[in-house]
């Protein structure tokens, strides 16, 4: 089983990121999830925490997932480590993965096609591909409209994997959005 690594890049661990990281742990298992470049002790509950940057770990057979990578990830790639940017998404995307992660490393890079995904969904799609499913066989939806309250909705400007026909949106995030609470 490969290791999935989130290089935490934001100033702090925002509540949104905390929920996504916890969701990722449920999707890949605690022992397969490392979160690097953070000392946040509350993440220890569901991941291995490494204070150094992943770029200082000198990993072999590792790749960085970046929407701007030239090659798309395939099951044949078979990496041991998959590295993701722990950064909140932005709309339109501002190339943060490239700026803060892939341009600073000589590791190979792969995309999951160009549309920006939520980090938990990028990890889940990578896991499906690493487990042998080609990307074209994974059902997805882009720009999900989420009904919040009567007459109120929000568009999440990301690509999501469909599981049993429904976008894989973290329950804790959905509940907070529906309650109108800020993150």
Ligand X SMILES: C[S@@+](CC[C@H](N)C(=O)[O-])C[C@H]1O[C@@H](n2cnc3c(N)ncnc32)[C@H](O)[C@@H]1O
Q: Looking at beta carbons, which residue is closest to ligand X? A: 85
Our finding on whether 119 is near ligand X (CB under 6 A) is: yes
- End-to-end Cα separation, the chain, in angstroms: 33
Kindly state whether residue 65 participates in binding ligand X, applying the rule CB under 6 A.
Answer: yes
Interacting residue with ligand X among 94, 103, 133, 142 (CB under 6 A) = 94
Burial of 5-22, coded b for 16+ CB within 10 Å and e otherwise, reads bbbbbbeebeebbbbbbb
> With CB under 6 A as the contact rule, which of the stretches 42-50, 111-119, 138-146, 160-168 interacts with ligand X?
111-119
- Closest to ligand X by CB, 114 or 132: 114
120 near ligand X, rule: CB under 6 A: no
- Is residue 17 within the footprint of ligand X (CB under 6 A)? no
Cis peptide before 125 (omega within 30 of 0): no
Q: Calculate the CA 170 to chain-centre distance.
A: 12
Among 89, 174, 79, residue whose Cα is nearest residue 127:
79
Q: Is 63 in the site for ligand X (CB under 6 A)?
A: no
Residues contributing to the site for ligand X (CB under 6 A): 65-67, 84-85, 87, 89-90, 93-97, 111-119, 122
């Amino acid at each position: 089983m490969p290791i999935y690594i989130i290089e935490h890049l934001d100033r702090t661990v925002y509540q949104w990121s905390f929920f996504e990281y916890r969701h990722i742990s449920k999707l890949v298992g605690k022992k397969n999830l490392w979160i690097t470049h953070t000392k946040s002790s509350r993440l220890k509950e569901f991941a291995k925490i490494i204070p150094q940057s992943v770029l200082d770990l000198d990993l072999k057979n590792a790749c960085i997932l970046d929407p701007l990578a030239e090659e798309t990830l395939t099951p044949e790639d078979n990496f041991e480590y998959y590295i993701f940017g722990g950064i909140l998404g932005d709309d339109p995307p501002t190339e943060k993965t490239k700026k803060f992660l892939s341009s600073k490393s000589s590791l190979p890079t792969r995309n999951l096609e160009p549309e920006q995904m939520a980090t938990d969904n990028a990890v889940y799609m990578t896991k499906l591909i690493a487990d042998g499913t080609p990307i074209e066989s994974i059902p997805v939806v882009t720009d999900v409209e989420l009904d919040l309250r009567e007459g109120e909705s929000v568009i999440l400007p990301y690509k999501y994997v469909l599981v049993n026909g429904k976008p894989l949106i973290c329950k804790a995030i959905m509940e907070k959005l529906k309650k109108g609470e800020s993150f």
